[in-house]
Chains A and B, each alone.
Chain A
Amino acid sequence: MILAAANLLIGLFLLAPMIVVVATAFTTTNYPVFPPVGFTFKWFHEFLSNTDFTDATQRSAVLATVSTLLSTALGTLSALALARWRGRGQQAVTMFMLSPILFPTIVLGLALLVFYSRVGLSGTFIGLVIAHSVVTTPFVIRLVLAGLAEFDPSVEEAARNLGAGWWRTFFLVTLPLIRPGVLAGAIFAFILSFDELVITLFLAGPGMQTLPIRIYTFVEYSSAPTISAIATVLIVAWVAIGVPVYARFLSIRHK
C-alpha cells in the first residue's frame, strides 16, 4: 500500500512538468501561463508554419536516426566483444568504453571542436553524426551488456556446431536473443541525440540548426508559448510511436 502510494506520488512528480507544458501550449496569452488562459491552436500553427522550426525538426530527426544506426551497430559489436573477453583487462576496457557517459558534454564539445578544425570536420553533418555517436554509443554498450548477462554462449556454439556460419549464427540466434538490449539502446541513443544541445552548439555550422539549437536561440529573444507547442508535439509523437515499439520489442517473445 505504502509502496503503491509512493509510486503514485513519484509518478505525479515526474508527470507534473509535462502536464504544465502541454497545458501552456493552448494558452491565448503571449507567454506560457499555468493554468492556461482560454484555448487556442495558434502556437501549433506558429510552429508548423515556421520553416525554421520544421527544417530544424527534420534535421534533428535525420541526425538522430543516422547517429542511432551508427551507435547501435558499434555499441552492439563492442558489447559482444566485451562480454566474450575472458581474462585480464576486460574491466578496464569496459570502463574506458563507458567513460564518455561521465565526461562533461561541454568539455567533449570543446575537444571535438579543436579536433574537427584540424581534420576538417567542423560544421559538417558527418561531424555531428560522429559527435552524437560518441555520446550515445556508451549507453548502447551499457544496455546491450546488461542484456548479455543472461545470454548463454553455448547457444551460439550449438548454432556453429549445427552447421551455421558466422552470419547465420549472428542474425538467427545471437541478435534475436539480445534484441531487447539492442532496441533499448537504440531508443536511448535516438532520444539522447534528438535532444543533444551542448556539443551540437559547438560543432554545428551555419544553416545546420537542430531543433534543440533552434529552441535555444528562440527562447533567447522570445517567450511565446510556441516552444510549449513543440514540446507537446514531441510528447505526442513519442507516445504514438515510441511507446508501442518499446512495448512490442522490449521482451523476447517466445510466442
Chain B
Amino acid sequence: MSDLQLQGLRKTYGTNVAVENLSLDVRDGEMVAFLGPSGCGKTTTLRMVAGFVSPTAGTIRVGGADITDLPPNRRDMGMVFQSYALFPHMTVRGNVAFGLKARHVNAAEVPSRIADALKLVGLSGYEERYPRELSGGQQQRVALARVLALRPKLLLFDEPLSNLDAKLRVQMRHEIRSLQKEVGITSLFVTHDQEEAMTIADRIVVMNVGRIEQAGTPDEIYDAPQTRFVADFIGTANLIPGQVADGRFRSTRGFELPLPDGAQASANEIVLSLRPEKIDMVAPETPESVVATITRVTKLGSTVEYAVTLASGDTLVVQKQNRSDRNNHEVGGQVGLLWSRADARLLP
C-alpha cells in the first residue's frame, strides 16, 4: 500500500544541478539505500521526499497519491537525522509523545504507543531521562522510537549512524535492519558508507553528480557494476583501459585476453574491471594463467594485498586471505594469475 514512486525528480539551485531526472520505484516494505560521494544528490533526494526541499520538476507518489506539494508535517513519514535532532528540553517520553500529539492520536492511546515504541528499541525504563543523559546510541534509538510510534508510511534515514563510533555503528546497522523488517515499513536510507548500504538494504541506488549510476541488489552492484564509477566506488577494482578488437580485449599497454562472456564488441575506449579478490594466484606454469611479477606486498591484517605487473606493464592489485600456509609470495617472485571469465567485466 505504501510504495514510493519518484518520477523525473529534478532539483536545481541557480545553475547548479543537485538532482537530475531521477526516477525510482520503491516497493512496499522495501529498504533502499542511496549511496554516493558527498554532493551526489542523495541527501537532496531524501529531503525532497521528506518535503524539506521542493523539487524543481517531477512528482513524488506514496501509495499512488501525489504528495509533491504537501508540507512536511502532512506527509506521514518518519525521519531519523544524522544529528539525532531530539528535543533537548523534553524527556524521552516527551520526545516520543510530541509526534503523537501533533498528529492528534487519541489521548487514551498515547501512553501505550510510547511504551510499545520504546520497548521496540530496547529503551523501556528510560522515559524520564533527558537526551543529554543518554549515550549517542541511545539518543539515536530514541529518535527511532519517536518515528516508529507514529507508524508512518515511510521511514527516512539521513546518515543516522555517522555520528556513532565504529563498533556501535556496525551493531546499529543490524538493529535498524531487523527493526525495519519487523515493522515492514518502506524505507530510504542515505549513506556514504558502502558497507552500511550493503548490510542494510534490499536494494542500493548508487548516485553520482545528481544521477542514478546504477540501482540493484547489493550483489548486483558489487558483482555486476554497470559503469566505471560504480566499479570504482563500491569496493576496489582493477580498471584497465583498453579497446575491443577482433573479439579480444586489448589493453592500451598491449595486454590481451578473450572477451568476457556476454561482452559486446565495441571499438570505443572501454575499461576492463576485475575485483582484486576474484583473482587466483597459481604457479606461473599453470595453463591459461597470466604470468606476472610481484612488485609490492602489503599486509592488511585479515588480508594481504599484492601489486603485480604483467609482461605488458599493466599493474593489477590482488587480494588474498592472510593465511600462514598459503599465498606466501615475495616481491620479485613470479606467479600465474587466473580468474573466472564472468568476473572480468567490460565497462563503458
Pick the contact of B72: A152, A155, A160 (CB < 8 A): A160
- Interface centre among A157, A158, A159, A165, by most chain B C-beta atoms within 10 angstroms, is A158
Contact (Cβ within 8 A) A158 B71: no
Rounded to whole Å, the gap between the CB of B265 and the closest CB of chain A is: 50
Pick the contact of B132: A161, A164, A254 (CB < 8 A): A254
Contact (Cβ within 8 A) B73 A160: yes
Contact (Cβ within 8 A) A157 B73: no
Contact (Cβ within 8 A) A162 B102: yes
Interface of A is mostly: helix
Residues B138-176 near A (CB distance < 8 A): 143, 146-147, 150, 156
Bound Cα distance A201, B98 (Å): 51
Contacts of B74 in A (CB 8 A): 163
Contact (Cβ within 8 A) A162 B98: yes
Interface assignment of B233: CB less than 8 Å from any CB of chain A: no
Residues A121-175 near B (CB distance < 8 A): 152, 154-155, 157-165, 168, 172-173
Contact (Cβ within 8 A) B88 A164: no
Total A-B residue contacts, Cβ distance less than 8 Å: 77
Given the known inter-chain contacts A163-B102, A176-B89, please indicate yes or no for A157 contacting B79, CB distance below 8 A: yes
Bound Cα distance A165, B75 (Å): 12
Contact (Cβ within 8 A) B88 A254: yes
Contact (Cβ within 8 A) A161 B77: yes
Interface assignment of A255: CB less than 8 Å from any CB of chain B: yes
Bound Cα distance A164, B71 (Å): 10
Q: How large is the interface on B (under 10, 10 to 19, 20 to 34, 35 or more residues)?
A: 20 to 34
Bitwise, B221-245 to A at CB < 8 A (1) or not (0) is 0000000000000000000000000
Interface assignment of A252: CB less than 8 Å from any CB of chain B: yes
Rounded to whole Å, the gap between the CB of A234 and the closest CB of chain B is: 34
* A contact residues, total (Cβ < 8 Å): 21
Interface assignment of B201: CB less than 8 Å from any CB of chain A: no
Interface assignment of A177: CB less than 8 Å from any CB of chain B: yes
Bitwise, A44-65 to B at CB < 8 A (1) or not (0) is 0000000000000000000000
Contacts of A161 in B (CB 8 A): 50, 72-73, 75, 77-79, 147, 156
Interface residues of B (CB under 8 A from A): 50-52, 71-79, 81-83, 85-89, 98-99, 102-103, 130, 132, 143, 146-147, 150, 156
Other than A155-B88, A162-B103, give 4 A-B pairs with Cβ distance below 8 A.
Answer: A152-B83, A154-B82, A158-B143, A164-B73
Interface residues of A (CB under 8 A from B): 152, 154-155, 157-165, 168, 172-173, 176-177, 252-255
